[in-house]
Structure formats: structure tokens, C-alpha cells
Amino acid sequence: MSGVISKRDRLVIHLGRRDPTFLPLLTMPFFQATSTKLPLSHEVTGPYPSAGPYEFTRNDVNALTSLRRNPYYRGQRRRNLTGLDVQWNVDEQTGFNEVQTGDLDQGPLPEAEVQSIADRYGVNKSRFWAVPRNCISYLAFNNRRPLFAKVAMRKAVNWAVNRTAFAAQGGAHSMTPWTHLIPPRLPGSLTRKRLQPYAVHPDLAKAKRLAGPSIAGKKIRILYVTRGVNAAQAALIRRDLMRLGFKAGNITMEAFTGPYYDEFGNYHSTIDLGVGGGWCLTPELPGPEELLSSFVGRGNPFRVDSPRYRSRLARAASLPQPAKARALGKLDLMRNLAPAAAMGAPNNRYFFSSRVDPRGLVWSAMYEGWSIPALALK
């Protein structure tokens, strides 16, 4: 391959152009060092070697996968467990009961059991954990429409919405209410409560001052996707807008079965606000600078054209890490431009047996899961 040089234990890759996703891509499983004897045409069901702390010793397809310590590993990553077995296709209630009794160490958590488990063990303390994913759910404003052309109205909605109630529609501890566009666990995110641009509970007095008395005569068209909890969340947003000052007869609710970007993202769309928007970072997708830039500039109804913020964003994105993450987090995009209303970050929820040592739970932000080598039993 052109630009790739391999010599002994050194691999050099020359990029043809800047790629902010390059380092995350190198952490993906398909880049790992592995045997050239492994077949490419079918799934391997027996043991095979690994360059990491653990190796695969068994793989019964859709039944059992076993990891054991790699005897040839000489790296520095700690290995607390002798091995780990993953059982596939376990019935949800059966798996939950087996975690309760200690026959499984981590397993499924039925929706009906979440709150009782949280009440019993606390959240993120011992056995129940709710950890925000690298995603953000937001209300999309059509910033080309007269209603949201001015920043005061965009800020008014941000102060009027009840993010705590919005997050609860997906179930107990299913979402972390959030007001920053950068999700909680990504570099640059403003994790301190005092640094959040808005509140997770509404401040109607502030919202009404920003909206002004003329809001009673304004009309608004809301588009929401019918899948999942979006309909219930859209009903909450309608209620919050009425509390802000919109008249019930001036709020038009429109359901949409497809991705609402297909309808809302049209340059000439007459939709004012969309419920069901979101963004997730994965190793294959760009980082926070691409998310923020999608809300600043020209080209689609979601963006606010601000030469000042375009310049600030470009300067921040050009910095090396970790200075870039800090600069992106300090842009105050939501506080000053409010191009959307960030609502929350969906959580991954976990339930562990009493044998698992919470001190061994080390979160991997890229994979949105716990580090297997760090896992430990009491």
C-alpha cells in the first residue's frame, strides 16, 4: 500500500490528507494484529490468537464465547480476571434473576426492574450503573424560518423545556438530561453544573422575558418521528411551549414515519421545530468539531450563520489535542447562539452481581463499555 512502511516492530502510515478519525479507527477490532492463517470466508468457531491481554479460546456461535489470559502477552495492561465467558441469547428475565443470585456477573435488566434496582443499590455506586453514551438528543430549530431567526426565541425555548421530564419518557435512568451540544463523556464537554448553558428544569420567568408578549399570536409547526418515545416527548414539548405562551390552536403537530431530516432538512421546509433529532460519535464518525460545525454557517436549516463563530470554531479545530477539546468546550455556542435545544444523552444501563468489584469498572469512552482487562471480582 502506498504510504505504508513496515519494518520490524514499527509501522509508519503517511496520510494523504488530514483525517480526525484516524486514531479512533486504529482502535477498531479490524486493525488488530492477528494470524494470516485465519480464514476470510467463514466465521472461526475455535480458538485463535490475539495480540491483546486476552485470547479467544472458544466461540460457539450465538451460544458461548470464552476469553482467557493470553500467555504470550507482555504488555502493560492489567489483567485482573483469569477469564470471561459471554453467554448469548439468554432470556431477559432469566438472565436478570441469575445476576440477582450470582450465577451471572453481569446481565440484562428488564425495564420494569430498573427503578427498583436503582432504589436498592443506588446509581453508579455498586451494582447498578447508568452511563451516558457518546450521543446527544436535541430539538432542531429551523433557523431559516422567521420564528427562530432571532436568538432570543431560540434561547427562550431552551429555558422553557423540561429536560428532566423529556429524559424520563424512555424509562428510568434511560437518559441523562443535558444542555451542552457536546455529550457528557466526550473531551471538551462542560461537566460541571455551573458551566451548563441552560438548566435541566424549566425557568419559565426567564423564558417568557426572552420570548416577549407577542408570542401569544405566533404560530409554530412541529414535526416529530413516530418511532420509540418521540411521540410522548413531542407531547411534552407542546405542553412546554404552551406554558411559554403559545396558544394551543397555534401549535400544529405533524407525525412523520421516516427520518425527519428528509422532511425537515429541505431548504424550503416550513417546519419550525423537530423532535427526534440526535447525533452519536462512533469510531467511524468525526469528532465534536464536526458536530458543532453542523450548527454554524450556511447550507441547511439547522445552521446559524455567524462569521465570528465560524472563525472561532476553525481556530479551535486546528489546535492539537488536548487544547482542541478545551477550546471547543469553551466556545459557548449554546449559550450565545442557541442553534438547537440539547435535551440529553441516552444512557447505557448495567446490572452486576455482588461479586463484581466496582473499583474494576473502567469506562472505555470509544467503545462505550467497560474495559475487560480492568474488570475485577471482590
- pLDDT per residue as tens digits for the range 125-142: 999 999 999 999 999 999
What are the boundaries of each domain within the chain?
135-347
The number of CA neighbours under 13 Å toward the Cβ of 286 is 11
Instruction: Count CB-CB contacts under 10 A for residue 364.
Output: 12
Is residue 45 within 8 Å of 61, Cβ to Cβ?
A: yes
CB burial class (10 A; 0-12, 13-18, 19+) of residue 104?
A: buried
> Residue 324: how many CA atoms within 13 Å on its side-chain side?
15
Q: What are phi and psi of 366, to 5 degrees?
A: -70, -45
Question: Using CA atoms, how far apart are residues 274 and 251, in angstroms rounded to an integer?
Answer: 13
Which amino acid, 125? K
**pLDDT tens, position by position, 14-49:** 998 877 678 777 877 778 777 888 888 888 888 877
Give the class (CATH, top level) of 135-347: alpha beta
For the entire predicted model, the pTM comes to 0.86
Percent with pLDDT over 70 in the chain:
95
Three-class HEC string of 254-302: EEECCCHHHHHCCCCCCCCEEEEEEEECCCCCCCHHHHHHCCECCCCCC
Quick one: which of 215, 233, 55, 54 has its CA closest to 161? 233
* Residue type (1 letter), 76: Q
* 3-state SS, residue 8: coil
**449554546: which residue's cell?**
334
* Contact in structure between 139 and 281 (CB atoms under 8 Å): no
Q: What is the pLDDT of residues 65-103, one digit of tens each?
A: 999 999 999 988 889 999 999 999 999 999 999 999 999
